[in-house]
A and B are shown apart, each in its own frame.
Chain A
Amino acid sequence: MGVAKTAVTMSLFMFLFFSIRQEYADAKLRKLNNFAPRPYDYLIGLMEGQVTFNRARIEEYEHYYKMLIAYIPQRADAYGMMGFCAYHLGKIQEAIFYYQEAVRLNPHFFWFHYSLGVSYFNSGMYDKAGESFVNARSVDPSITYKFLFSSKVYQPILADLSDPASLPVNFKNGLKNCYLLEAAMQQKTKEETFLPKDKFYPRIF
């Protein structure tokens, strides 16, 4: 093959290579949109303790957030959602890992610290739980809200929320729980009375 012919073939190759790369990037976004496990009513019901356990449904959500992490690994909200799903599927150690990652990527979101703390607490790691609750309390609420409303992961879930006015109430309850659990953990060093483990669960928001 002459130089000219090689150049033509190489040009074709390069053209296809860049086209395929661009198509792959677009296809990933399309896939994420297609996979969005709408509606989110079950997820919200799960958070509020209003629905019965359905493994298949939770696995659908888990599947989506796992894919989201695979494609966009720097999203703290996706790790947070994975933590939430893993916890409800009974994989608490996995949930702790995902919440740790979420906190690492965004240490200014209250619910990551809170959920990590609750996960530690429910698995008996009280010292670490205490640290997480202290971190949660130190977070600026306005930054939490800003992140919540700007997140493309949370926006569709918020849209399915029947009562958006419950958000500040949830936040206050979350803060209250932090104090309550911290106090309970301090008590534990003195006596064996303790709060029931299954009363507190990780939350999305």
Chain B
Amino acid sequence: MSSLKIVSFILLMVLLAIGFNLARHKPLWTDEIYSQTVSVEKFSYPDILLGKVKEGNTCPLFYLIQKMICDMTQYRVPSTGLEPWDQHAQILLRVNPVFFMSLAIAVIFYCIARFYSSLAGVFASFVALSSPMVWLYWAESRPYAMWVLLGTLQLLFFLSIIRKEELNIRTWNWLAVIHGLLSLTVITSVGQIMAVSFLLWILKSRDWKKYLGLTILPLLICFYYYGRSSLSPLWVPNNFMKLIYPSISVEQRGLFAVYTTFLLVQYFQSRGNAHVLTIGKEERRSWALIALMLAVAFSYIIFYKLREIPGHAGHELPVRQFIFLTPVGIIATVLFSLDLMRAVKNQMWIRINVALALGGLMIIHFLRNCFGIIGIY
């Protein structure tokens, strides 16, 4: 086993310890109790698989895993009902999210360290641990942690595909598996699947057969479960940007703006054939993916706005519906930071200043977004 794999494994163990500690101190809340009491306990495996659970999201993967964990440990909700402060349930019901969120961070570390450098891997883990959404949903027995892990893997496999000139069928197939799992996790993964598939169609392959498993089947699965879902009415808040901000902070948006400026500068330079800045090809493609993912988020907002019942009936559209932007924000921050550093590698003074600015920005990012919530429970 390589030293990188060993370090990643140790990191995973540490993250699991942090996650279970969070779970121990965080009371179960209404949605978790409802999902366990109704969707997991009262429905059989075939019913869950057929999307018969009475939830907004009827995709079965999360409920199936929860049911399996409960059956294996012979756990049943007490006859008196599930209390928020039930230490046994707080841990057991969160094995699933704690494991998947921890794995997501460890995978980010491993892949970035492997693609770039160990230091980049450490930086990526720091950026991931600076995301408030990671901390908020690390120990919540709902499908969000799985969504973050699968979203992370989707982006990393996409990066892996576009890094190479020739198409690697094995990676492609893995991405198809991830898309399949995404479609079995949340119905709103439809936008992510379409965004990645669209870019791959543009950049890699236009062989429609390749998209049967990668796109068509996952989309059909999503639409099937969408048809079975009992979506309660949701209304979009007037300041709809607050749905996106927790996943992509102001510091990250600042970085994206700087990077976009660099891209424009490079574009105009290339027209004059004077290459001072060199932005990598794959980072340009990543930039396109991130822009597309943001477009997906805005499409959702428009979708919910169109479905809105006048008079704010139902619930406010929750921030967690946009958690798929969290891995997008993390990976984009890492890639753009690394690329900015690489773009100025021959100019020592600028390099020092860019490193200083990026380091400072990330510390501020951590203090603003995470310091206040770490250890909250």
A residues in contact (CB < 8 Å) with B: 1, 5, 8-9, 12-13, 16, 19-20, 23-24, 26-28, 30-31, 33-35, 54, 56-57, 59-60, 63, 67
Q: How far is the CB of B90 from chain A (nearest CB, A)?
A: 9
Q: Which of B339-377 contact A (CB under 8 A)?
A: 348-349, 352-353, 356-357, 359-360, 363-364, 367-368, 371-377
Instruction: Collect the chain A residues with CB atoms within 8 Å of residue B116's CB.
Output: none
Inter-subunit contact B85/A27 (CB<8 Å): no
Q: How far is the CB of B28 from chain A (nearest CB, A)?
A: 12
Inter-subunit contact B372/A20 (CB<8 Å): no
Would you call the interface of chain A mostly helix, strand, loop, or mixed?
helix
Inter-subunit contact B373/A23 (CB<8 Å): no
Inter-subunit contact A20/B360 (CB<8 Å): yes
Instruction: Collect the chain B residues with CB atoms within 8 Å of residue A33's CB.
Output: 372
Contacts A20-B363, A20-B367, A56-B85 hold; do A31 and B372 have CB atoms under 8 A apart?
A: yes
A60–B85 CA distance with the chains assembled, in angstroms: 11
Would you call the interface of chain B mostly helix, strand, loop, or mixed?
helix
Inter-subunit contact A31/B371 (CB<8 Å): yes
Closest 5 CB pairs of A and B: A16-B360, A30-B372, A27-B371, A23-B367, A31-B372
Contacts A27-B371, A56-B87 hold; do A19 and B376 have CB atoms under 8 A apart?
A: no
Inter-subunit contact B353/A12 (CB<8 Å): yes
**21 A–B pairs (Cβ distance < 8 Å), ordered by A:** A5-B349, A9-B349, A9-B352, A12-B353, A12-B357, A13-B356, A16-B356, A16-B357, A20-B360, A20-B367, A23-B364, A27-B367, A27-B372, A33-B372, A34-B376, A35-B376, A54-B85, A56-B87, A59-B25, A60-B377, A63-B375
Contacts A9-B356, A13-B356 hold; do A24 and B373 have CB atoms under 8 A apart?
A: no
Q: Which of B318-341 contact A (CB under 8 A)?
A: none
Q: How far is the CB of A82 from chain B (nearest CB, A)?
A: 17
Instruction: Collect the chain A residues with CB atoms within 8 Å of residue B377's CB.
Output: 60
A60–B349 CA distance with the chains assembled, in angstroms: 49
Q: How far is the CB of B259 from chain A (nearest CB, A)?
A: 19
Among B25, B353, B357, B368, which residue has its beta carbon within 8 angstroms of that of A27? B368
Contacts A9-B352, A27-B371, A31-B371 hold; do A19 and B85 have CB atoms under 8 A apart?
A: no
Q: How far is the CB of B375 from chain A (nearest CB, A)?
A: 8
A57–B83 CA distance with the chains assembled, in angstroms: 13
Inter-subunit contact B372/A8 (CB<8 Å): no
Among A12, A23, A28, A34, which residue has its beta carbon within 8 angstroms of that of B368? A23
Instruction: Collect the chain A residues with CB atoms within 8 Å of residue B352's CB.
Output: 9
Residue of B nearest to A59 (CB): B25
Inter-subunit contact A24/B353 (CB<8 Å): no
Instruction: Collect the chain A residues with CB atoms within 8 Å of residue B359's CB.
Output: 16
A35–B353 CA distance with the chains assembled, in angstroms: 36
Inter-subunit contact A34/B372 (CB<8 Å): yes
Among B85, B356, B367, which residue has its beta carbon within 8 angstroms of that of A24? B367
A27–B365 CA distance with the chains assembled, in angstroms: 11
Contacts A24-B367, A34-B376, A56-B85 hold; do A1 and B349 have CB atoms under 8 A apart?
A: yes
